[in-house]
Structure formats: structure tokens, C-alpha cells
Amino acid sequence: MASSMISSPAVTTVNRAGTGMVAPFTGLKSLAGFPTRKTNNDITSIANNGGRVQCMKVWPPLGRKKFETLSYLPPLNEAQLAREVEYLLRKGWIPCLEFELEHGFVYRENHRSPGYYDGRYWTMWKLPMFGCNDASQVLKELQEAKKEYPNSFIRIIGFDNVRQVQCISFIAYKPPGF
């Protein structure tokens, strides 16, 4: 019976080339169809200031300390502080205020090894403002901290409670003379 099935005219050949087989590699195609970028070695075509741009003077390097993020800018006014706080609230970060009575910047006093600096950790003003959703709440706390410690540096920081990191920090108030 098995021999009759093999010699039966119903048996057909199966072409397996199209099922699961990959065509062989035939080499790289011509690069003529791809877009090319012209390189320009002429340095006179590079954009320049042209004298029409008004630039703002930033942090003067002589006799001034550089503090935190945004310290190269002039002091922020209330509206600018509110916009920065609104930014950190939009990001979902938790605002918190910290103050420093003595220096307000990183310095070396107790140890001289590389990577060790004093002044990195400041005192927290109250607890972080969990649930805060309005910049005016943070600015009200800033005014209270300024009233309590008028000769201190005060910074606003933003914590990301998911990643457990501090994401933003900037000086919101400097004592007179800085």
C-alpha cells in the first residue's frame, strides 16, 4: 500500500523556496538614490552676531561669588520667581525652601581632601510643601523666611518624589551686600 502511494500521480513536488527562506545577499546597491549633504568649508558663511543682537550682561567675575543655578543672571524679581516656581510645580516636583546663615556657597574649612566641601547642606525652612499647587504659596513662605532670617541666603528647591532626587535649586534671596 505504501508503494502505491508513492507512485500515485497525485503526488506533486513542493516548492519550499518561498516559505521561510531568505533571499541571498546580492551586495550593496548604488548610493545614487540616497540624498547627500554638501560640506561647506568656507568659514565666512558661518552665522555671526552682526551687531544687531542685544546681549544681557551676566555675572561679573571679579569680587562676586557664584551660587546656584541661575546665579549668572541678575537677581530674579517676584514675577520671575513665580514663573520658576510654576515650572517646578508643572513638572510635578515638590517645592521646599532652605536657608543658610553664614556663607550661602560651597567652601572648604574642615577638610582638604578632594570632593569634600562644606556648605553643601542647608537648613530646611519648615517641611517640604507636599500638595502645593500654587506658586503664591511658595512665595508667601519665602516672605516669611526673609522676615525671620533677613541676613541669610534662601533657596527654592524642587524634589521629584518618584525618582527621589532634587531636580532644581536656585537662590531666591540674598542678604544685603551680596
Give tens-digit pLDDT for 41-56.
655 555 555 555 566 6
Q: Residues, the chain, total? A: 178
Amino acid letter at 96? C
Q: What are phi and psi of 44, to 5 degrees?
A: -75, -15
Q: Identify the helix (H) or strand (E) that includes residue 171.
A: strand 165-173
User: Which of the residue ranges 77-81, 111-115, 156-160 would you say has the lowest mean pLDDT?
Assistant: 111-115
**pTM above threshold 0.85:** no
Q: What is the DSSP letter of 61?
A: S
Taking each helix axis from N to C end, the angle separating 135-148 and 78-90, rounded to the nearest 10 degrees, works out to 130
Per-residue pLDDT, averaged over 30-34, amounts to: 60
The burial of 149, by beta-carbon neighbours within 10 Å (0-12 exposed, 13-18 middle, 19 or more buried), is given as middle
* Distance between CA atoms of residues 61 and 153, nearest Å: 20
Amino acid letter at 51? G
pLDDT at 133: 92
Confidence of residue 175 (pLDDT cuts 50, 70, 90): confident
Task: For residue range 72-109, list pLDDT tens digits in order.
Answer: 677 789 999 999 999 999 999 999 999 988 776 665 66
Q: Is residue 64 over pLDDT 70?
A: no
List 158's β-bridge partners, or say none.
Answer: 95, 168
